[in-house]
Amino acid sequence: MKPKKALALFLVMIMCISLVPANAFADASDGVTVRKTATPVPGLDRNYDITLELAGDEIETVKPVDITLVFDVSGSMGDTSNGRTRMQMTIDAANTFIDSVMAKNTAAGNANNVRVSIVKFSELASVYRFAGSAGWKDSIGSNNGHKYYTDVASTAKSIISSLRPDGGTNTEAGFMAAKAVSDVRNSNGDHVSGRSADSYVIFMTDGVPTYRITSGGWGNGNADSGGSGSSTNNNEFNEAVVAGKALQDAGNIVYTVGLLIGYGSGSADMKCADALLADDGYYTRSNTGIFGAVVYTKATDRTAYSSQYTSISQVAGAADAIKNAYSSIANDINARATGTVTDIVPAGFTVVPGSVRPTTATVTVNPDGTTTITVNNISTGPENDPNLITYRVIANEGTYGSAYTNVSATYTYTLNETGTTGSTIFPKPVVPLAPIAVADTATTSVGETAYINVLSNDVNAKITEGGGAVTDLRIEDLSAITGPSGASVSITDGKVNFTAIAPGTYTFTYRAVATVEISGQESIVKSVPATVTVTVTGAISYSASGYQGVYDGSSHGITVTSTGVEIRYGTIEGTYGTTAPTYKNVGVYTVYYQITKPGYASITGSRTVTITPKAATVETGSASKVYDGTPLTNSTVTLGGIIVGDTVTATATGTQTIVGNSNNTVTTAGADKGNYTFTETLGTLTVTKGTLSYSSSGYEGVYDGSSHGITVMSTGAAIKYGTVEGTYDVTAPTYKNVGEYTVYYQIAKPGYTTVTGSETVKITPAPVTVTADAKSKAYGAADPELTYTSSVEGLTFTGELEREAGEDVGTYKINQGSLSAGANYTVTYVEANLTITPATVTVTADAKSKAYGAADPELTYTSSVEGLTFTGELEREAGEDVGTYKINQGSLSAGANYTVTYVEANLTITPATVTVTADAKSKAYGAADPELTYTSSVEGLTFTGELEREAGEDVGTYKINQGSLSAGANYTVTYVEANLTITPATVAVTADAKSKAYGAADPELTYTSSVEGLTFTGELEREAGEDVGTYKINQGSLSAGANYTVTYVEANLTITPATVTVTADAKSKAYGAADPELTYTSSVEGLTFTGELEREAGEDVGTYKINQGSLSAGANYTVTYVEANLTITPATVTVTADAKSKAYGAADPELTYTSSVEGLTFTGELEREAGEDVGTYKINQEA
C-alpha cells in the first residue's frame, strides 16, 4: 500500500551524547588571544550559547593613565555585614586595585606612567592634595593639577586607608569633584611635560543621592548642599545624572560600582541606584506614573556615561564581589589591546533578542538574513580572566548535520603599549543540528505488510559545514505499538514495515536520526518523536499462544486455534508442515505457523516455547586444622531437586594447605545437567596459625649523655624495628637527648601469627638553677645589661633575660625571658628586679581671659620638658561673674615619672555682650497695647525692667525703646529696636438701596455703620448714568478717618422708565392715493422718538386703525398710546361713452368707453335707451 501524507507538526529536538561546547582558538603573534565557543543549551532544542573570549599577554610597558578614585564616605558606609563595614570592604578592594595598576610603575621604561587622584564625597566632596599644602581640599587651583595626583602606590593606599564614613550622600558633588580634578590634570607642564594619558574615573557608592549642590557649584570654595539626608528626589537624581554625563563628555572613561547590599532586591531604592549608575542608558527621573509614581525614562538618543556598571546586592560574598569589580577594571587598564569586535551570524541562525552582552553592543539584521553584532571599545583581559562577549542563537528549521555558528568574527585592535594596530579572526565553531520528523499515515489489511517511507516524507536538507562527517538519515527508537495485539513493526532499508493480524487502528512513533562527527566529537542528533498511524482492515479470527515453564521432564509446544482454517507449523520461517513440533529440554524455541482460509489473507506468525532450568541444590562439607604443611580436604557432597531418572553427578574438589581458608568447591556433570540451575552451599576449609612466644621492654632515665633503646627477644623469629608504625627495619634505633620516643617492633615466623607492638624510651631533663642579678636606672636612661649566675659551671645558654615592660618610675620584675640551657636541662629561675626613679618638670600656666557667659578657654601651659605628655588638666577658681580668677594646677600631672613644679596665672572674665532684638508689634486702632517682647542672643538669660514705646494712639508707627530692660552687671546690652504699628480699625458701611424715575433728581445716598455714633466725612457716590438701569452705589469719598478701614457693602440705585402719552392724529385719503404721514402728539414736549406709527393693512375704501407700530421713546420711557383711524374715501373716475351707430335692423354694436383712469377694470356694461327704430338713443351708465 502507498502511505498517505498527514498534516504534520514540525518539531525539532537535539539530543546529544553530552553537552560539550564546540571550541575554537586563535592566537595573534602580538600576544592577543581570541577564542569562540558554542554550547548547546540544556532543555532548549537547537539553542546554543555563544561565547567570544579576548585575552592578552601581560604587558611590560604600562600605558600612561590618570585614574581618579571616587569614594562614597556617607554614614551608611559604616554599616557592618559579616563582621566588616562597607568602608573596610571598599578600602581593601581599592588598595588591591592600586597594587595591580601601579605594580610596574617603578619598572624600567614605565617612568611612573600611572597616576592616581582620590575624591571622597558625603554631603559635599573633597579632593586630596598630595603636594605642597597636603590634605583634603574643596577647590583646585587652575595650575595645580599635578599636586592632586600621586604615582606612589603606598601614598595612595595610605590616604585610601584613612577614609572614614560620615554624613549623607551627594552623588552630584562626587561627579563634579572628579571632573574638576581631571580637567586640570595636565595643568603644570614641568611635571607632566608632553604627557598624553587616558583618564579613568572609578565611581563607587553604596546608595542613592540624598543631597545635591544647591548653590555655588563645586570647586570655587563656596558650594552649598541641601537634601533630606535620608531619601532621594527627582532633583537630586537628575542633577547627579547631568554631572555624570558632564564627566564623561570631558573625555573621561567612567566606571561605576554600586555596593547596594543595604537594599532589598527589587526595592524602589535599588531601582533608583541601578538607573543612576547603569551602563545601558542615560535616565531621567520623574513623578509622571499612575498616581504620581516615580518613573525612570531612558533617553534613546543618548548613550550611558558609565562604560561598565557593577551592581553588588548580595550580602554573602560582598567583599569578594567588590574586590572582583575593581580587579575587572584593573584588567581593562592593564589590557594589552583595546578595539572592536565584529561578529556576523549566518542566515541559518537567529540571535535571541536581549541576549547579547555587553548591552552596549549593537545588533543589526542584514538584508541577506545574516546578523551583525558589533562591540566597540572592548579590551583584552588576562589569560585567567578574559573579557567576554556572549549571546544566544537558535538554529532555523529545515536542515540537519554540521553548521558554522558565524560567517566571520574579527577583532580589530590597538596595542596599548606601542599604539600599533592589528586584527585577528575568531575561528568558527561548528555545531550539530538535528533533523525534523513529521506524522505519517498508511492503510493495509490483515496479514499484509505496509511499507512506509517516512524519511522521504520529512523535509530535511543535509549540510556538512566545518568538515563535519554527517551520515544520511536513519530511523531509530521505534516505540511499542498502540492498537490490537499481534501487530509488528520493523525497519528495512530506511523504511518502516508494519504487519497486523487483526483489523483496527495502530499507532507507533519513530525518530529521524543522524550521526554528526565534529572535530573529534561524536554526536547523535535526533528529531522529536513523530507518530505513524496505520489502519488495518479484514482478518482471520484466531488465537496463538506459546509455552513458558520450568523443566519438568515432559514435552511442550505452541497452541494455535481458529475455526474453519488449515493450520501448519514449522521451525524455519516459510517452511510449514502438519505436525506441530514439541520440546522437552531447557531452551527457547521459535515455532512458526501459517493459518489459511479461503477468501482471507493468510496469517503467518510465530510463538515461543520457553523452558527454563529447574532449581537444584548441591552441598559440600567443611573441615579445619592447625597449620602442618599438608592439604586439608572433605569429599562429602549432597544433591537435591533432581528428577528421578535424570543423569546428574557431583564431586567435591576443594583443598587448603597454607594458613587461611577457602571454599570446598564442587563440579557437576551428567547428560541432564543442562536442565538444572544449581544453588551451591559450599563448605569451608580452614588452616589456622600458631602463636609466637616473645618478651619486650623499654627504657626510662635522666639525661646522662649516653644512647638508650628498647629490648625485644624471641627464639627463631625475625625481629625488625621502626619509628613509624607499620614501617620496620633490622636496625634498632637508640636515643641520647631528652624526650619520649616510641619504637615499634615486628616479630615474624613462618606458620605463626606475626606480632607487632611498641615500647617507649623516655629521657628526662637534668636540673640547673639560674639566679638573676638585681639592677637599677634613672627614668629615661637606657636599661643596664641583665646578668645572672648558673649552678652548672661552664654551661652554655641561649637567649637572654627580659624585664617587665614599662619606662615609668617603679619596680620591674626581671624574668627568665628567652634564656635557655637547651632541651636537656630544666632551668629553675630565681628572679630579681630593675628599679626606675622619677624626674622633675616645671609647668607654667598661661594667663587667659574670656567674656562673661562664654565657655572657658582651654587652660594651657608650657613645660620645661619639651614633648612631654600630661594627664588631667589645669583648673581655675570657681565663679562666672566679671572678675579675676586664679588658675590652679588642678589634676594636671606628668605621671608618676615626674614631680611637677607649678607656676600659676589668672583667668579674667570681662562683661559679655548680649543683643536684645525687640519684636515688631502691631494692634488695631483703639485696642490695648500688646506685650512688648524681644529675643536675646543669649538663650535663657534673665532680664529686669521692660521695653517702652513712643506715646500715641492714632494709626501710625511708634518706636519701641529699650526702656528699663537690663541683663545685669555681667552683660552689656546691644539693643536692636523695632516698631509698634497701630493699624486702622475696621468699620462696616452698608449702603441703602435707592430708586428714582427716569429724569427725576437723584435721591440722597444713605447708609448704616457698624460703629454706632461714628462720624464720617465725604459721601457715597453712584456710577454715572441717567438712563433706565441699575447703577452701583460706591463708597466714593466717604471716610471714617485715618483710624478706620472701611469695609464697604455696596447697594444699587435703580432708574425706572418715565411715562409719555402719544396720541395718534386721525388721517384720511382718497382710494388709490398714497398714505398720508401718520403723525402724533406727545405729552412730553420736545421728546425724540424712533420708529413710526403703522396702520392696519388695506387699500379699499374703509376705516383702518392707526397702531403704535415701531414708535418708541427709548428705554427711558414707557409709552401710553392713544390710537386713531385712517379713512380711505372713494376716488373719482370719468367714463366717456363712445358714440355708436348701426343700420336699422342690425345688431347693436358693442358699447365701449374710455376711462380717465388708465388700466382700471370695470364690471357690468353700458346700456342704451330702448328702441329699434331709426333714431338716436342715449347710451347710459346703467339701466
Query: Residue 171's pLDDT band (boundaries 50, 70, 90)?
Result: very high
895 located within any domain: yes
Write out the three cell numbers for 511: 525518530
C-alpha cell at 916: 536684645
Grid cell, residue 970, equals: 555681667
Query: Is residue 296 a part of any domain in this protein?
Result: yes
549 and 494 in one domain? no
Residue 209 lies in a domain: yes
Is the pLDDT reported for residue 10 higher than 80?
Answer: no
pLDDT tier for residue 1174 given thresholds of 50, 70 and 90: confident
Residue 241 has pLDDT above 60, yes or no: yes
Cβ burial 635-657 (10 Å sphere, 16+ → b, else e): eebebeebeeebebebebebebe
pLDDT for 78: 92
Q: What is the predicted pLDDT for the residue at 663?
A: 93
Phi, psi values for residue 384, rounded to 5°: -85, -5
3 state DSSP class of 246 = helix
User: Would the pLDDT of 281 be above 60?
Assistant: yes
Looking at the chain, the whole-number percentage of residues with pLDDT higher than 70 is: 92
Stronger pLDDT, 712 or 108, i.e. the higher one: 712
Cell of 1109: 407700530
Residues 282 and 315 in one domain: yes
Clarify whether residues 905 and 843 are in a common domain. yes
> Can you say whether the dihedral through the CA atoms of 67, 73, 74, 77 is positive or negative?
positive
Please report, for the domain that includes residue 39, its CATH number. 2.60.40.2110
Residues 115 and 253 in one domain: yes
Is there a domain that residue 669 lies in?
yes
Q: State whether 620 and 742 are in the same domain.
A: no
563 and 669 part of one domain: no
**Number of separate domains in the chain:** 12
pLDDT in tens, 127-151: 999 887 889 998 886 656 678 889 8
DSSP 354: T
Work out whether the CA dihedral 1109, 1111, 1117, 1122 comes out positive or negative: negative
Grid cell, residue 1106, equals 392707526
The CA distance from 890 to 887, in Å, is 8
SS3 901: strand
Give residue 373's pLDDT band: very low, low, confident or very high (50, 70, 90).
Answer: very high
pLDDT of the residue at 163: 95
By mean pLDDT, which of 397-401, 553-557, 1164-1168 is the weakest? 397-401
Determine the 3-state secondary structure of 248 from DSSP: helix
Distance in angstroms (rounded) separating the CA atoms of residues 115 and 246: 22
Which residue, among 283, 278, 280, 322, has the nearest Cα to 86 in the 3D structure?
Answer: 322
Residue whose C-alpha cell reads 413710526 in the numeric block:
1092
State the angle between helix axes of 86-101 and 153-161 in degrees (0 to 180), rounded to the nearest 10: 170
All 3 cell numbers of residue 811?
619596680
**In the prediction, which pLDDT does 228 show?**
62
Tens-digit pLDDT profile for residues 608-618: 999 999 999 99
Count Cβ atoms below 10 Å from residue 590 Cβ, excluding itself: 15
- Residue 1 pLDDT greater than 80, yes or no: no
pLDDT tens track for 477-519: 888 889 888 888 988 877 888 898 887 889 988 787 878 887 7
Bigger pLDDT: 348 vs 455: 348
Specify the higher pLDDT residue, 693 or 194: 693
| Same domain as 1025, residue 1064 | no
The average pLDDT across 547-567 equals 91
Q: What order of strands is seen across the sheet that includes strand 985-991?
A: 1007-1009, 985-991, 1044-1049
> Which amino acid does the sequence have at 278?
A
The number of beta carbons lying within 10 Å of the beta carbon of residue 784 is 11
Rg (CA), the chain: 63
Q: How confident is the model at residue 19 (pLDDT cuts 50, 70, 90)?
A: very low
pLDDT of residue 186: 62
Q: Residue 978: what pLDDT?
A: 92
Confidence band, pLDDT 50/70/90 cuts, at residue 911 = confident
User: DSSP characters for 490-532?
Assistant: EEETTEEEEE-SS-EEEEEEEEEEEEEEETTEEEEEEPPPEEE
10 Å CB burial of residue 936 (0-12, 13-18, 19+) is: middle
Q: Is residue 954 part of a domain?
A: yes
Nearest to 465 by CA among 526, 397, 399: 399
Residue 274 is predicted with a pLDDT of: 85
**Are 121 and 225 in a shared domain?**
yes
Q: What is the mean pLDDT of the chain?
A: 86
Flag the least confident range among 507-516, 540-549, 779-788.
507-516
Q: Is the pLDDT of residue 550 over 80?
A: yes
Q: Which residue has the higher pLDDT, 666 or 13?
A: 666
Beta bridge partners of 437: 11
* Mean pLDDT confidence for 698-707: 87
- CB count within 10 Å of CB 938 equals 17
Query: Which pLDDT score is estimated for 261?
Result: 87
pLDDT at 780: 81
Q: State which of 410, 428, 446 marks the end of a domain.
A: 428
More confident residue, 841 or 512: 841
Residue 70's Cα: distance from chain center in Å?
A: 22
Picking from 565-574, 622-631, 999-1008, which range would have the lowest pLDDT averaged per residue? 622-631
Bridge partners, residue 712, by sequence: 696
**Parent domain of 479:** 4-10+434-534
225 pLDDT band, cuts 50/70/90, is low
Out of 333-337, 340-344, 362-366, 1061-1065, which region has the weakest mean confidence (pLDDT)? 333-337
Which of the listed residues 393, 428, 463 is the one where a domain comes to its end? Answer: 428
Residue 888 contacts residue 875 (beta carbons within 8 Å): yes
- Mean pLDDT comparison of 13-22, 837-846, 1102-1111, 1173-1182, highest-scoring range: 1102-1111
Q: 1064 with 1124, same domain?
A: yes
- In Å, how far are 398, 500, 1035 from 495, measured between CA atoms? 21, 17, 115
CATH of the domain at 458: 2.60.40
* Position 15 in a domain: no
CATH number at residue 858: 3.10.430.110
Residues 1158 and 1026 in one domain: no
Q: Is residue 17 part of a domain?
A: no
End-of-domain residue from the set 318, 334, 350: 334
pLDDT confidence of residue 92: 94
Distance CA 251, CA 66 (A): 12
Kindly state whether residues 80 and 97 are assigned to the same domain.
yes
* Residue 1029 sits in the same domain as residue 1095: no
Lowest-confidence segment of 156-160, 417-421, 934-938, 1116-1120 by average pLDDT = 417-421
Nearest to 1076 by CA among 1051, 1106, 1047, 1053: 1106
**CATH number of the domain that residue 163 is part of:** 3.40.50.410
Give residue 773's pLDDT.
93
| Sequence-distant (≥ 6) Cβ neighbours of residue 1099 within 8 angstroms | 1071, 1072, 1128
C-alpha cell at 215: 548653590
Cell, residue 731: 636496625
The string of pLDDT tens digits covering residues 790-812 is: 988 888 899 999 999 988 888 99
How large is the average pLDDT for residues 907-914? 89
CA 155, 160, 161, 165 torsion-angle sign: positive
Please report the beta strands in 847-920, taking only residues with DSSP state E, as ranges in sequence order.
848-851, 861-863, 875-876, 883-888, 898-903, 905-910, 912-918
Section 824-842 average pLDDT? 89
Tell me, what's the pLDDT at 291? 53
Q: What percent of the chain has pLDDT over 90?
A: 42
Q: What value does the mean pLDDT take over residues 958-976?
A: 91
* Angle (CA) 971 975 980, round 5°: 140
Residue 11's pLDDT band (boundaries 50, 70, 90)?
Answer: very low
Q: What's the pLDDT at 1183?
A: 46
Q: How far is 207 from 419, CA to CA, in rounded Å?
A: 39
Q: Is residue 16 included in any domain, yes or no?
A: no
**pTM value > 0.75:** no
pLDDT given at position 458: 65
